[in-house]
A and B are shown apart, each in its own frame.
Chain A
Amino acid sequence: NAGVTQTPKFQVLKTGQSMTLQCAQDMNHEYMSWYRQDPGMGLRLIHYSVGAGITDQGEVPNGYNVSRSTTEDFPLRLLSAAPSQTSVYFCASSNLRAKGNEQFFGPGTRLTVL
């Protein structure tokens, strides 16, 4: 199993550009989520999904869109990048049905918006 994969690892954007961060998992997990991590801060939840076709907002959803057309994929779209979106982005997945379910994290995408 590859686990949770994210692409790209690094990205530089100009203000106003759009892009999609890719996330895929091969563990058949229902639950997937996106976090951002800023220096000196913990993880903040952006969006999450409890299954294909179902998404919901987290703590900091503004400026981001998600979709979940398949169990495996959960892309994060930045519609019009802003310098405030400079951060490291992590995707995670887990099996909702298991008590004490562990979240598996991808390696992260480091995004810089100029």
Chain B
Amino acid sequence: GNSVTQMEGPVTLSEEAFLTINCTYTATGYPSLFWYVQYPGEGLQLLLKATKADDKGSNKGFEATYRKETTSFHLEKGSVQVSDSAVYFCALTDSSASKIIFGSGTRLSIRP
């Protein structure tokens, strides 16, 4: 079945450091891939998405590229800020888009 695996946290970085959060997936067909972010005390919100191979999603300085050959969708940011501290979830929807499958989440903490 479809699944999403993302790197375990917590991840702690200093402000302005480079960020990578790894995400790999298993799916048949051509899923759509997402990164969601959950700030403390809030629900999840979409950060970025990609719907086909080689697409790059980007938002708020974050980027992720849909790599079908490595079944990956790693999240990157060149210079993190304290305000980026949150939990990040990688997710996919299958071709029928009837369900979304989430990874287990990665907690990110940024030190000033």
Contact = CB atoms under 8 A, between A and B. Distances in A.
A107 B89 CA distance: 16
Interface of B is mostly: strand
A107 B103 CA distance: 20
Nearest to A42: B104
For chain B, the bracket of interface size reads 20 to 34
A4 B46 CA distance: 14
B100 A103 contact: yes
Contact of B49 (A4, A102, A106): A102
B51 interface: yes
Q: Which range contains the number of A residues in contact with the other chain?
A: 20 to 34
A33 B89 CA distance: 17
Interface of A: 4, 31, 33, 41-43, 45, 48, 50, 90, 92, 94, 96, 98-103, 105-108
A43 B89 contact: yes
